[in-house]
Copies of this chain bind each other. A is one copy, B any other.
Amino acid sequence: MPKVSPERLEATRQQILDGARRSFARHGFEAATVRVLEREIGLSRGAIFHHFRDKDTLFLELAAEDAEEMSAVVAEAGLVQVMRELPARDSGWLGVQLEVSRRLRTDPAFRMAWEQRLETVRAAAVERLRRGREAGVVRDDVPVEVLAAFLQLVLDGLVLHLATGSAAGDQDQQRAVLDLAEEAVRRATGPAVAARTDMDEDFPATTPAQEASA
Partner-binding segment picked from A6-14, A52-60, A66-74, A149-157 = A149-157
Does chain B have a CB within 8 A of A180? yes
Question: What distance in Å separates the Cβ of A122 from its nearest Cβ neighbour in chain B?
Answer: 10
Report the copy number of this chain in the oligomer.
4
Are A26 and B160 in contact, with the CB atoms below 8 A? Answer: no
Please name all residues of chain B whose beta carbon is closer than 8 Å to the beta carbon of A146 when the two chains form the complex.
173, 176-177, 180
Sorted nearest first, the 6 A-B pairs with minimum C-beta distance are: A157-B157, A156-B157, A153-B157, A104-B164, A156-B160, A184-B184
Within A15-68, which residues are at the interface with B (CB < 8 Å)?
A: 25-28, 30-31
Within A127-150, which residues are at the interface with B (CB < 8 Å)?
A: 139, 141-143, 145-147, 149-150
Which A residues have a C-beta under 8 Å from some C-beta of B?
25-28, 30-31, 95, 98-99, 101-102, 104-106, 111, 118, 139, 141-143, 145-147, 149-150, 152-161, 163-166, 173-174, 176-177, 180-181, 183-185, 187-188, 191-192, 194
Q: Given known contacts A154-B157, A157-B153, A173-B149, is B165 in contact with A105 (CB within 8 Å)?
A: yes
What would be 12 A-B contacts, judged by CB atoms less than 8 Å apart?
A28-B105, A95-B105, A98-B105, A105-B163, A105-B164, A111-B164, A153-B157, A153-B158, A153-B161, A153-B177, A155-B157, A156-B161
Q: Compute how far the CA of A184 lies from the CA of B158 in the bound complex, rounded to whole angstroms.
A: 17
Please name all residues of chain B whose beta carbon is closer than 8 Å to the beta carbon of A185 when the two chains form the complex.
180
Closest to A182 in B: B184
Question: What distance in Å separates the Cβ of A22 from its nearest Cβ neighbour in chain B?
Answer: 13
Q: Compute how far the CA of A142 lies from the CA of B182 in the bound complex, rounded to whole angstroms.
A: 14
Are B111 and A165 in contact, with the CB atoms below 8 A? Answer: yes
Please name all residues of chain B whose beta carbon is closer than 8 Å to the beta carbon of A118 when the two chains form the complex.
166
Q: Compute how far the CA of A184 lies from the CA of B179 in the bound complex, rounded to whole angstroms.
A: 11
